[in-house]
Amino acid sequence: NAGVTQTPKFQVLKTGQSMTLQCAQDMNHEYMSWYRQDPGMGLRLIHYSVGAGITDQGEVPNGYNVSRSTTEDFPLRLLSAAPSQTSVYFCASSHTGRWETQYFGPGTRLLVL
């Protein structure tokens, strides 16, 4: 198993550009989530999903869209990037999302100029 994979590893955007961060898992996990990590603030939940077609907001959802059409993939979309979205983004997954350990992907470092 490859576990949780994320692409790209690093991306530079200009303000106002859009892009999609990709996340995939091959463990047949129902639960997937996106976090952002900023210095001194730990990780904060952006959105999560408990299965195809079911998503919910986390602590910092503004500026981000998600959808879940397959069990394997959970892309994160930035519709109009802003410098405040400069961060490291982590995707995570777990079997069902009920009290289970979440396993994280390697992260995507995003710089918005």
Interacting residues toward another protein by CB under 8 A:
31, 33, 35, 40-45, 48, 50, 54, 56, 58-59, 88, 90, 92, 96-104, 106-107
Least distance to another protein, CB of residue 4, Å: 10
What is the spatial distance between Cα 50 and Cα 99, in angstroms, rounded to a whole number? 13
DSSP secondary structure letter of residue 95? S
Nearer to another protein, 17 or 67 (CB): 67
Nearer to another protein, 42 or 70 (CB): 42
Give which of 26, 21, 19 is closest to 47, Cα–Cα.
Answer: 21
| Tokens matching residue 75 | 């892309």
Nearer to another protein, 64 or 90 (CB): 90
What is the spatial distance between Cα 110 and Cα 26, in angstroms, rounded to a whole number? 24
